[in-house]
């Protein structure tokens, strides 16, 4: 008497038939492939955007400090340079304005214009960048 085997219990490929390829995984989207930026790259870019704390915003407004696109770009570049050197909290000087920045959080903590800088002491910083 021959032994009957349930075909549902035989693993794929055990009968000598064609081997099944593993399911294809979608290729990551890249700008070169025409799919635009990947979500990870967009998230990375969003994380790099410099933020201002409520305190810093209040100081900028109260002191009439002008933060235009050029100033913001130079400030951002200074923060990136500080990050590249391993800084945690940095004083970034842009023209006549000093910005104290938490490099880890990519957040401006406070801003001081040249008029209010006299006799000021900046504490809890580990670097200074002239941008």
Q: What is the pLDDT of residues 68-121, one digit of tens each?
A: 999 999 999 999 999 999 999 999 999 999 999 999 999 999 999 998 888 889
How many domains are there within the chain? 1
Q: What is the dihedral of CA 16, 17, 18, 20, to 10 degrees?
A: -90
1 vs 52, which has greater pLDDT? 52
Per-residue pLDDT of 14-34, as tens digits, reads 555 555 555 555 555 444 445
Range of the domain at 111: 50-130
Task: Tell whether 24 is covered by a domain.
Answer: no
Q: What is the mean pLDDT of residues 26-49?
A: 54
Do residues 90 and 125 make contact, with C-beta atoms less than 8 angstroms apart? yes
Lowest-pLDDT choice from 4-8, 47-51, 79-83: 4-8
Q: Is residue 120 part of a domain?
A: yes
User: Is 107 domain-assigned?
Assistant: yes
- Note the pLDDT of residue 119: 81
CA–CA–CA angle 79, 46, 35 (5° rounding): 130
Sheet order of strands, 89-94 included: 51-52, 107-113, 97-102, 89-94, 127-130
**62 lies in a domain?**
yes
Does 76 reside within a domain? Answer: yes
Task: Please indicate, yes or no, if residue 95 is contained in any of the structural domains.
Answer: yes
Q: Residue 38 domain-assigned?
A: no
Q: Is 28 a member of any domain?
A: no
Close Cβ partners of 70 (under 8 Å, ≥ 6 residues apart): none
Q: What is the pTM of this model?
A: 0.64
């Amino acid at each position: 008497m021959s032994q009957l085997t349930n075909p549902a219990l035989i693993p794929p490929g055990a009968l000598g038939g064609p081997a099944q390829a593993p399911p294809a995984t979608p290729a990551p989207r890249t700008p070169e492939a025409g799919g635009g930026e990947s979500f990870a790259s967009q998230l990375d870019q969003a994380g790099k955007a410099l933020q201002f704390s409520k305190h810093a915003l209040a100081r900028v407004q109260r002191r009439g400090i002008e933060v235009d696109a050029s100033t913001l770009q130079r400030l951002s570049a200074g923060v990136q340079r500080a990050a590249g050197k391993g800084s945690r909290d940095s004083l970034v000087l842009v023209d006549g304005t000093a910005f104290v920045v938490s490099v880890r959080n990519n957040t401006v903590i406070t801003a001081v214009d040249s008029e209010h800088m006299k006799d000021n002491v900046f504490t809890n910083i580990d670097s200074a960048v002239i941008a």
